[in-house]
Amino acid sequence: MQYDSIIGIDPAGIGNNGIVIYSNETNNIVFNETFKTKTVLESKNLFKEYFLTIQHHFDNKKILVIVENFFLSSKQLLINPLATPKIIGSLMVLVEDVMNWDFQESEPKNKNKIENYKGNIKLTKHEHDAYKHIQYYLRNSKNERQSKLCEINSKT
């Protein structure tokens, strides 16, 4: 499925949240920001404000939101390990039920398969992570389309 815009999110819930908006129409990043929050509620409310603004500017556009999933390992020392899963759940509800956009989670290991952004926009670590999930999706969706075309061509 072709999307007009893809929003990549590196969620924290508490701490630094990264967001990148990529336009498939121009093949460029059109927005990037990292914001720091102290509570999951504050994160949810800020994401909702961003989404409403995006909806206003991208009215009638097909949008996909990709959120980095979260796994807690025994080596991580987090003050509030539930904050990130809570914000991911909140994002799913906001994206699917409030905004009526498509939602997808991306595994943290996927970003390791993509190089850092090398353009003229200075991205934070969290924005790089969000961008990498977008690029991982684009690369894999392109490969899937090519495989389907090859399959169709081989049948004819």
Q: What is the DSSP string of the chain?
A: ---SEEEEEE--SSEEEEEEEEETTTTEEEEEEEEEESSHHHHHHHHHHHHHHHHHHTTT--EEEEEE-----TT---S-TTHHHHHHHHHHHIIIIIS--EEEEE-GGGGGGSPPP-SSS---HHHHHHHHHHHHHHHHHHHHHHHHHHHHHHH-
pLDDT per residue as tens digits for the range 109-152: 999 999 889 889 999 999 999 999 999 999 998 766 555 545 55
Say what percent of the chain tops pLDDT 90: 69
Task: Identify which has the larger pLDDT, 1 or 35.
Answer: 35
- At 103 the pLDDT is 98
Rounded mean pLDDT, 92-106? 97
- At 83 the pLDDT is 87
- At 149 the pLDDT is 47
- At 13 the pLDDT is 87
CATH topology of domain 5-155: Nucleotidyltransferase; domain 5 (3.30.420)
Residue 81 pLDDT level (bands cut at 50, 70, 90): low
Average per-residue pLDDT in the chain? 88
Residue spans per domain, the chain: 5-155
pLDDT per residue as tens digits for the range 11-50: 998 999 999 999 999 999 999 999 999 999 999 999 999 9
